[in-house]
Amino acid sequence: MPAQKAKDSSEPLLNGWCERLRDGAAGREIAISELRSYLHRGLSQALASRYGGHVDPEDIAQKAVLKILSSLDTYRGESRFTTWAMSIAVRLGISELRRRHYQGISLDSSTTGEALRVTLEDTENGSAESSSRRRSLLNRLEELINGNLTDRQRYVIRGVLNGLPVEEIAARLQSNRNAIYKLVHDARLRLRAGFEATGVTADDIMDILR
């Protein structure tokens, strides 16, 4: 059935997008216009409810079209062309929303090299034993953060706890998203390994936090 066949990403119908969008292709301007409209429809919905929605979806759609046109050779046909194109548009839109939303918010004003303390307030709920276990867990967390993590990891962890997305932390540190995610992820792995070295498993942690 034609409708069903059209949804398969291997069909020429979908791969025809690349050919119609290339320089010099017949009907290229129409294809560009239709792609822009498609992206705009999706962005208008997806961006409106996020981070205050303070971007123009038409502007983002236009920027996305330019990026898609310059990236046509990277489309590998493993998904529908329109899904691939929309992923580029959404990423652009979310990045712009984050940039505007977090504009006035800085990382912790401290410098690297400082220890990160954990306050022990609010641990007194429940039984004396559960409070004691929580305090012990938090003390151990503080030891591990300051003994097993690098200065940069402590600094980035503080940024994550301040609510900054990895993308925004990367921008403030003149780094990139991949590097900051790896720092955070590696830090978490080190902390987990540190707990397990003293016999505290992931299940123990979740049980104590309950």
Tokens of 205: 């942690």
Print burial letters for 26-65: b (CB count within 10 Å at least 16), e (below 16). Answer: eeeeebbeebbeebbebbeebbeeebeeebebeebbebbb
Q: Which is nearer to another protein, 6 or 66 (CB)?
A: 6
Q: Which is nearer to another protein, 66 or 209 (CB)?
A: 209
**Radius of gyration of the chain measured on its C-alpha atoms:** 24
Among 76, 92, 69, CA closest to 14: 76
CB of 130 to another protein, least distance (A): 13
CB of 40 to another protein, least distance (A): 8
SS (H, E, C) 14-77: HHHHHHHHCCCCCCHHHHHHHHHHHHHHHHHHHHHCCHHHCCCHHHHHHHHHHHHHHCHHHCCC
Q: Alpha-carbon distance 18 to 14, whole Å?
A: 8
CB of 191 to another protein, least distance (A): 5
Q: Which is nearer to another protein, 122 or 129 (CB)?
A: 122
Give the CA distances from residue 171 to residues 26, 51, 114, 151, in Å, rounded to whole numbers and listed in that order: 41, 18, 21, 18
Between CA 13 and CA 23, with CA 19 as vertex, the angle to 5 degrees is: 155
CB of 68 to another protein, least distance (A): 12
CB of 165 to another protein, least distance (A): 5
Q: Which is nearer to another protein, 8 or 66 (CB)?
A: 8
Q: Which is nearer to another protein, 58 or 108 (CB)?
A: 108
CB of 81 to another protein, least distance (A): 8
Q: Which is nearer to another protein, 103 or 109 (CB)?
A: 109
CB atoms within 10 A of CB 187: 21
